[in-house]
Structure 1
Amino acid sequence: MTTATNEFEGRQVLIVAGTSGIGRHLAQDAVDRGARVTITGREAGAVRAVADSIEGSVATAVVDLRNEASIAELATELARRDVVVDHLISLANAPAKGPVEKLEREAIIRAFDAKVVGALLLVKHLRPTVSVTLFSGIVAWRPRPGMAVTTTTNGAVAFLAQALAVELAPVRVNAVSPGIIDSGAWDALGAEGKDKLYADAATRNPARRIGSTQDVSSAVLDAISNQFLTGTVLHLDGGARLV
């Protein structure tokens, strides 16, 4: 039986927008499983800082998903390093929040570039050989006022995973839909605001807690190693979308 360790040993894992708390945890866990990991972001300094914080060797690269030429340059750079991407994971996100009457076209386009257009262009230029994992989000199933763009882009990711699973077969394509995760994304609320958000979320969802970066990382890597899983959305929300 193929084990997760065997699946990752020597494999090339590319984590796009890997400077978040989730991205860093994914990179560390993939390295621990024997993978050769490259993380990318838009700013070289931020990417290098995350890579330096990981135990083990991690390569870095810069890419801007708003610019197809940048994605093509990434493909050229990886080829120069003799890197053939086995597993592509994209956590890219550029939320455009606010009521519809106040949305700006540029912000809407950035959101779609990060989640949808960028994902398509990454696949086009990088041609991953084993799997693609994209990130959606719970708001696609639980829309709220002021979140029309985020709801739509996250929903589009779910359908994009299905379409790519069919078109790229036998390359496996899945989407991950996190709920409230303690990843650093909510730190701007301040300690009091974040604690209240976490407590309210834990009270409402069936799991009775919020998620951790470990929850997300283990689910993503297990999905990548599962050779019969494709065209699926993994809901990592503690059941919050159900209530």
Structure 2
Amino acid sequence: MSVTPAVQALQGRRLVIVGAGSHTGRELARAASAAGAELILAGPDPKKVERTAQDLSGPSEVVSLDITDEDSIAMLAKRVGSFDHLVSTAAIPANGPLAELDLAAVHRAFAAKVTGPLMLAKHLVGQVRENGSFTFFSGVAAWRPTPARTVMATTNGALAFLVEALAVEIAPVRVNAVSPGIVDSGAWDRLGDGKQEFLRGVAERNPARRVGAVDDLVQAVLFTMSNPFVTGTVLHVDGGGRLV
């Protein structure tokens, strides 16, 4: 990754990554650590988060977090202390046909994408340093809903509005979201031999004529954290996929 002003801005900063065990969270942690940031890595699976910590060149701390539980979020706040930026990649999908949706699964999906970020802001806003920020992950499904993705579309859309509301309420702390499109992050490996055909079809339809890479998302997060005049914004990193 080339050195950009956004990367340089992380030198000496303290960054909390919720969902640090995910592929995107891990790559973000690597970039931030290489740039000189001190990291607090949080997630529900300590083994995955520890693997991320082992990949880093700089200091880090691993914290167990259940984003669906307010008490767990309150404990995170106590462990973290003051910090500069928080990023949450957390998601617990509840996909499926409407007639087959499980209410408990729907509640978990909203907890990860909507009430979890709300509680993160509630418990940690007082610990954000000057020019600090929150960045959450929405998704293209909110703008391009499809059958059996109703919950995903709704939670991602709700998060987009939450970002605007929080940006007003907790100003001058900045609040933004990154909204990925189809990204080759490993999530599509489950398609097996059909993966490449699927990604090729996406690339042919996208105005950008390609699918996303995890580094596209990392660069977008670095931008939202480092630009002091960006708040209440959803940054679409979808190759224009929401438009077609």
Q: Same fold (TM over 0.5)?
A: yes
Q: Does 1:8 align with 2:10?
A: yes
Secondary structure class of the residue paired with 2:39: strand
- Tell me the residue number matched to 1:96: 94
Deviations 1:139-188 (A, max 9, x none): 10000000110000000111011001111111111111000111111122
Segment drifting more, 205-214 vs 4-13 = 4-13
> Contact 1:161 / 1:232 at 8 angstroms: preserved in 2?
yes
Q: Does 1:152 align with 2:150?
A: no
Code of the aligned partner of 1:138: V
In 1, Cα distance between equivalents of 2:23 and 2:8? 26
- Tell me the residue number matched to 2:65: 63
In 2, Cα distance between equivalents of 1:156 and 1:194? 30
In 1, Cα distance between equivalents of 2:37 and 2:56? 13
- Tell me the residue number matched to 2:145: 143
- Tell me the residue number matched to 1:107: 105
Deviations 1:118-144 (A, max 9, x none): 101111112233101010000100000
Residue segments in structure 1 that go unaligned for 5+ positions in a row: none
- Deviating runs (4+, > 4 A) in structure 1? none
Aligned residues: 237
> Contact 1:20 / 1:183 at 8 angstroms: preserved in 2?
no
Secondary structure class of the residue paired with 2:9: helix
Secondary structure class of the residue paired with 2:42: strand
Counting only pairs closer than 5 Å after superposition, residues 169-208 of structure 1 correspond to structure 2 as: 169-190=171-192, 192-208=193-209
In 2, Cα distance between equivalents of 1:76 and 1:172? 21
- Tell me the residue number matched to 1:38: 40
Sequence identity percentage: 51
In 2, Cα distance between equivalents of 1:74 and 1:41? 10
Secondary structure class of the residue paired with 1:182: coil
> Contact 1:177 / 1:237 at 8 angstroms: preserved in 2?
yes
- Tell me the residue number matched to 2:83: 85
Segment drifting more, 161-170 vs 26-35 = 26-35
- Tell me the residue number matched to 2:24: 22
Residue segments in structure 2 that go unaligned for 5+ positions in a row: none
- Tell me the residue number matched to 1:225: 226
In 2, Cα distance between equivalents of 1:167 and 1:17? 25
Deviations 1:204-223 (A, max 9, x none): 10111111111110111012
- Tell me the residue number matched to 1:214: 215
Secondary structure class of the residue paired with 1:93: coil
Code of the aligned partner of 1:112: F
Question: What is the Cα deviation at residue 6 of structure 1?
Answer: 5.0
Root mean square deviation of aligned Cα: 1.4
In 2, Cα distance between equivalents of 1:3 and 1:234? 18
Code of the aligned partner of 1:76: K
Q: Does 1:117 align with 2:107?
A: no
